[in-house]
Amino acid sequence: MSKRRDRKDSETSTSSDESVRSEIKEKKTKKSYESPGSPARGCVDRRSQSLAGHYSSRRLVHNGRANKVAMLRPALSLEAPLPSIKPLPRVYIDLSIQGIQQTARLVIELRPDKAPKLCENFTLLCTGAQGFGYRGSEVFRCLPGWWLQGGDFQHNDGEGGRAALDDNEFITAETTELEPRPGAVEMLCMSTNDQGNLMVGSQFFIHVKKYSYTHVFAYVIDGLDLVDKMTQLGDSAHVYRPSKTITIADCGLLAA
């Protein structure tokens, strides 16, 4: 009995040892195919699979948005045409001084965006489209270092002149916010209407010094230095009439 029990215990021990050895061998084999903290070769664990799917889907969404933005964004080209800007109209006045053969040209840039009526009236007087205007009239007053005055094509002394815009002798003066800087051109106010508005005809000033009036409608952009020299001809003994006759030999609208 004792020998039979010992044999049984020995078989049980041997079987247990073989089971342990088999388990150890299996673990060693498994470790040879795995890296620490990673799934077995040829497998993807659920966590890795979930993250991969997350970033893959985000990449697709991002690319989709980028494509939509690219489709909506207008194509830029260095050869695309720039928006056209309409140039401001310009007129010229050629002044002839007694004893000097060469005429002096003034180029005046109008501002119809600020004073449309005054600009149209001045243009008509320069072109003579109504059958009368500045051509042949005189600059009849010059204040040295300040301004010259002209536009009285009827009497050349400051007592005449009329508007050319419509059938009325005078038109309402437009008040503007244009700066009264040197080179500013404004119309002379001749009277007031029943509503108290200032009225203008054809007489104008060209200023060579800044002043405080507010009926500016144009600027001399070429020839202002010549205007300054002409103002020096004003004779204080004769109500600043120029000592040499200054005539508007020609005038008109310049091509845009």
Q: What is the CATH number of the domain that holds 213?
A: 2.40.100.10
Whether the Cβ atoms of residue 220 and residue 108 lie closer than 8 Å to each other: yes
Confidence of residue 204 (pLDDT cuts 50, 70, 90): very high
Confidence of residue 64 (pLDDT cuts 50, 70, 90): low
Confidence of residue 58 (pLDDT cuts 50, 70, 90): very low
Does the structure show a pLDDT above 50 at 49?
no
Is there a single domain that holds both residue 49 and residue 164? no
67 within domain boundaries:
yes
Q: What is the pLDDT of residue 214?
A: 73
Q: What is the pLDDT of residue 148?
A: 97
Q: Find the mean pLDDT for residues 119-124.
A: 98
Residue 90, H or E segment: strand 90-97
How far is 231 from 209, CA to CA, in rounded Å?
11
Is there a single domain that holds both residue 199 and residue 233? yes
81 within domain boundaries:
no
Is there a single domain that holds both residue 103 and residue 222? yes
Taking the whole predicted model, whether its pTM rises above 0.85 is answered as no
* Closest C-alpha among 248, 109, 96 to residue 185: 109
Tokens of 131: 């059958």
Does the structure show a pLDDT above 90 at 234?
yes
Is there a single domain that holds both residue 139 and residue 60? no
* Closest C-alpha among 180, 63, 201, 54 to residue 130: 201
Q: Residue 57's domain spans which residues? A: 2-72
Is there a single domain that holds both residue 59 and residue 123? no
How far is 15 from 24, CA to CA, in rounded Å?
14
Domain count, the chain: 2
161 within domain boundaries:
yes
Is there a single domain that holds both residue 59 and residue 114? no
Is there a single domain that holds both residue 68 and residue 121? no
83 within domain boundaries:
no
Is there a single domain that holds both residue 134 and residue 236? yes
Q: What is the pLDDT of residue 37?
A: 45
Confidence of residue 17 (pLDDT cuts 50, 70, 90): low
* Closest C-alpha among 147, 141, 159 to residue 224: 147
Q: What is the pLDDT of residue 217?
A: 97
Is there a single domain that holds both residue 30 and residue 122? no
The partner residues of 222 in beta bridges, in order of sequence, read: 107
77 within domain boundaries:
no
173 within domain boundaries:
yes
200 within domain boundaries:
yes
Is there a single domain that holds both residue 220 and residue 184? yes
Q: Which residue has the tokens 């150890």?
A: 24
Q: Find the mean pLDDT for residues 159-166.
A: 94
79 within domain boundaries:
no
